Chains A and B, each alone.
Chain A
Amino acid sequence: MRILEVKDVNKRFGGLKALSEVNLSVEENTVHAIIGPNGAGKSTLLNCLVGKLIPDTGSVMFHGQSVLGRAPHEINQMGISRVFQTPEIFGDLTVMENMMIPCFAKRDGAFELNAISSVSSQKDIIERAEHVLEDMKMIDKRHMVASAMSRGDKRRLEIGMCLSQEPRLLLLDEPTAGMARADTNNTIDLLKEIKSKRDITIVIIEHDMHVVFSLAERITVLAQGTPLVEDTPENIKGHPKVREAYLGESSGH
């Protein structure tokens, strides 16, 4: 079953054609990677999926429902969570508080004026947040102010925050960008573990081929705003068109 269906999406920024005639379909419970050189339109495509950008033409369907024209929080409530290129967390809040907020969003929806009961009386939320923190092996850091953590831990926290909402689709925008090798490998292991433990569809944008080939079941190659090929990792590796677009090599080289 297809969970995400992108059809004939076009997006222009002034004279620049960022996306042209993009078609993409993602099968449920797979890891689908989108790769491509800088400026290929990967991030633009992702932004169109989460409501940050609205495509000029085309459609984006999630579980048979259009996401176009919906605000980011509505799209999230439909079951799409996004991890950003630079970890977006609540820096001034503690790790525990960071984890509780998505739990509130999951339980109470987009807005709930709960101004009188105290946070410490929300036992179900605390339990849920602690459970996810334990899962992410971060429970010992629960009282830390989030901005004081290392980049790897911030990334881990952000992924945990997304998972605590039990999304059906997790979007990862270069989750290992700027990470040391060890942190990158940890992230790969974490994502593998996440995938093995639950039913979740992951769409990942990545530059690092090591990450892509360790995780992805399907790969779409974008170049200059258009999908070149979509195939399994094995076939992509040797694909002449991919080598040309991605590595700047001619096929005979």
Chain B
Amino acid sequence: MFGLDKKDTMLLLLVAALTALAPFLLNPFPEGSAMAQFNAGYPDLMQRFVIFGIFAIGFNILFGLTGYLSFGHAAFLGVGSYAAVWMFKLLSMNVLPAIVLAVVMSGIFALLIGYVSLRRSGIYFSILTLAFAQMMFALAYSVLTPITGGETGLQLALDDPRILDGAVAANGNIPVPGLFGMEMRDSVQLELGAWVFTFNFGYYFSALVMLISFYIAIRIFRSPFGMMLRAIKANQQRLNYTGLNTRPYTLAAFVISGMYAGLAGALMASMDPLAGAERMFWTASGEVVLMTILGGVGTLIGPILGAGAIKYMENIISKINSDILHSWFAFLPDGLEDLLVTLVYPFIGKGWHLTLGIIFMLVVIFLPGGLVEGGQRIARLFKSKKTDRSAPKPQIEPGE
């Protein structure tokens, strides 16, 4: 289907089903119950899952396939956001032109930065990309304030021109981003017994964009171009002596992944029309590296899983505070309760980075292939229980 083989079609349909049913799957606990704070099925967070999923899918084309570790990819996220917000200000609150301009602009920036950075490989490439991203962050924060809004960020204003839909602003409110009449923040709530499920237009729009991005990524993985990228990762010297010029291949991979980042940035701005320089800060670049490694470098679905895992922790674990801990351990004797709360406290709330760090270390040491490898091991465990031991060992394919 769609020019994919059976296995890839299944994977695409699986991801499509998961994203479509996410409002249910992520809200397993009834409203008002003690576990309700682990529910992730609210629009804001679900949007972040898929948007960072797009960011990580694109990053994986560069890092996972080609083996070039960029440490400045958040720069393109920022460029995409700024471009999108400018489009909202100048042209229209429709998200489509904003997305188009964001992808084009981030592609141009990626072409320039990639052209210079790709003269080096390995750690020098990483440092070059980091330097470019930090320069862009610093510029956006200070000198370029007229374009970027500086410290306060780029925001919409009532008197923005909005050439195409100026009439919309006549009612005295700043309009919100939408798509042909639908607003990104539109939501429908469904109450089923104690459960409340929210279906948000912005989420489903982003999810659709992610599915398209994922589909394109699969096509790239399975194409001759994707094979060349994997060959660059495996042995660049051999590729050069096989008559292939590696530079345009790496540059193309860099630009494509930069455009994915710009797309993610545009969607972020579409959900919340505001762009700040902190989106380009180096920690944001590091985050996408963590997502890709946590999920599984060079796998198709890994980056999406990694993005989901990190965004879940960032938003859920960071919300747990000491009162909640006390309520969990309330059934224990007072002394023991205080002791447990003291022990767990560093790992929650603002300490969620500590939890993330420990999980990241465990994954890198015990599951170098990331969450995908974890899943494969579990699947193999079940398989070997079903069939006898003489069954052939499944072939590990680099693309899956």
- Residue positions of A touching B, CB distance < 8 A: 50, 71-73, 76-77, 81-82, 84, 88-93, 97, 100-102, 104-106, 108-120, 122, 125, 143, 145, 161, 165
Q: Which residues of A contact B227 (CB under 8 A)?
A: 93, 97, 100-101, 104, 119
Q: Are A101 and B241 in contact (CB under 8 A)?
A: no
Q: Which residues of A contact B234 (CB under 8 A)?
A: 90-93
Most buried by A among B240, B252, B395: B240
Q: Are A73 and B244 in contact (CB under 8 A)?
A: yes
Closest B residue by C-beta to A93: B234
- Listed by A's residue number, 16 A-B pairs whose Cβ atoms lie within 8 Å are A90-B235, A91-B234, A101-B231, A101-B239, A104-B244, A105-B242, A109-B243, A111-B245, A111-B249, A114-B225, A115-B220, A115-B223, A115-B225, A117-B224, A118-B223, A120-B5
Given the known interface contacts A88-B237, A88-B238, A90-B235, the answer about A73 and B243 at a Cβ–Cβ threshold of 8 Å is: yes
Contact of A92 among B224, B226, B246, B398 (CB under 8 A): B398
Contact of A72 among B4, B240, B249 (CB under 8 A): B240
Q: Are B225 and A101 in contact (CB under 8 A)?
A: no
- Shortest A72–chain B CB gap in Å is 5
- Shortest B11–chain A CB gap in Å is 14
- Shortest B151–chain A CB gap in Å is 40
Q: Are A102 and B225 in contact (CB under 8 A)?
A: no
Whole-angstrom CA separation of A18 from B210 in the bound complex: 57
Q: Which residues of B contact A117 (CB under 8 A)?
A: 223-224
Q: Which residues of A contact B396 (CB under 8 A)?
A: 145
Whole-angstrom CA separation of A232 from B293 in the bound complex: 58
Contact of B223 among A73, A102, A116 (CB under 8 A): A116
Most buried by B among A90, A91, A105: A90
Contact of B224 among A50, A90, A114, A145 (CB under 8 A): A114
- How many A-B contacts are there with CB distance less than 8 Å? 112
Contact of A101 among B4, B228, B237 (CB under 8 A): B228
Given the known interface contacts A92-B398, A116-B219, the answer about A77 and B243 at a Cβ–Cβ threshold of 8 Å is: yes
Report the count of interface residues on B (CB-CB < 8 A): 34
Contact of B238 among A90, A111, A114 (CB under 8 A): A90
Q: Which residues of B contact A92 (CB under 8 A)?
A: 230, 233-234, 398
Q: Which residues of B contact A110 (CB under 8 A)?
A: 243-245
- Shortest B1–chain A CB gap in Å is 13
Given the known interface contacts A88-B235, A118-B3, the answer about A101 and B223 at a Cβ–Cβ threshold of 8 Å is: no
Q: Which residues of A contact B228 (CB under 8 A)?
A: 101, 104
Q: Which residues of A contact B244 (CB under 8 A)?
A: 73, 101, 104-105, 110-111
| A-facing residues in B177-223 (Cβ within 8 Å) | 219-220, 222-223
Q: Are B242 and A101 in contact (CB under 8 A)?
A: yes
Contact of A90 among B231, B245, B246 (CB under 8 A): B231
Whole-angstrom CA separation of A122 from B222 in the bound complex: 11
Closest B residue by C-beta to A165: B243
- Residue positions of B touching A, CB distance < 8 A: 3-5, 219-220, 222-228, 230-231, 233-235, 237-246, 248-249, 252, 256, 395-396, 398
User: Shortest 6 CB-CB distances between A and B: which pairs?
Assistant: A76-B243, A90-B234, A115-B225, A110-B245, A105-B243, A92-B234
Apart from A111-B248, A115-B226, 20 more pairs, CB < 8 Å: A50-B241, A72-B241, A73-B241, A77-B243, A88-B237, A90-B235, A92-B234, A92-B398, A93-B230, A97-B227, A97-B231, A101-B231, A104-B227, A105-B242, A110-B244, A110-B245, A112-B225, A119-B224, A143-B395, A161-B242
Most buried by A among B222, B252, B256: B222
Q: Which residues of B contact A108 (CB under 8 A)?
A: 224
Q: Are A82 and B241 in contact (CB under 8 A)?
A: yes
- Shortest A97–chain B CB gap in Å is 6
Most buried by A among B219, B234, B243: B243
Whole-angstrom CA separation of A91 from B396 in the bound complex: 14
Q: Which residues of B contact A84 (CB under 8 A)?
A: 241
Whole-angstrom CA separation of A106 from B224 in the bound complex: 13
Closest B residue by C-beta to A116: B219
Whole-angstrom CA separation of A145 from B231 in the bound complex: 13
Q: Which residues of A contact B246 (CB under 8 A)?
A: 73
Most buried by B among A91, A110, A122: A110
Q: Which residues of A contact B235 (CB under 8 A)?
A: 88-91
Q: Which residues of A contact B239 (CB under 8 A)?
A: 90, 101
Q: Are B240 and A122 in contact (CB under 8 A)?
A: no
Q: Are A76 and B223 in contact (CB under 8 A)?
A: no
Q: Which residues of B contact A90 (CB under 8 A)?
A: 230-231, 234-235, 238-239
Whole-angstrom CA separation of A104 from B235 in the bound complex: 16
Whole-angstrom CA separation of A81 from B222 in the bound complex: 27
Whole-angstrom CA separation of A16 from B285 in the bound complex: 46
Q: Which residues of B contact A105 (CB under 8 A)?
A: 242-244
Q: Which residues of A contact B231 (CB under 8 A)?
A: 90, 93, 97, 101
Q: Which residues of A contact B220 (CB under 8 A)?
A: 115
Given the known interface contacts A73-B244, A92-B233, A110-B244, the answer about A118 and B238 at a Cβ–Cβ threshold of 8 Å is: no
Q: Which residues of B contact A115 (CB under 8 A)?
A: 219-220, 223, 225-226, 252, 256
Closest A residue by C-beta to B220: A115
Whole-angstrom CA separation of A72 from B244 in the bound complex: 9
Q: Are B223 and A119 in contact (CB under 8 A)?
A: yes
- Shortest B200–chain A CB gap in Å is 32
Closest A residue by C-beta to B247: A111
Whole-angstrom CA separation of A186 from B183 in the bound complex: 71
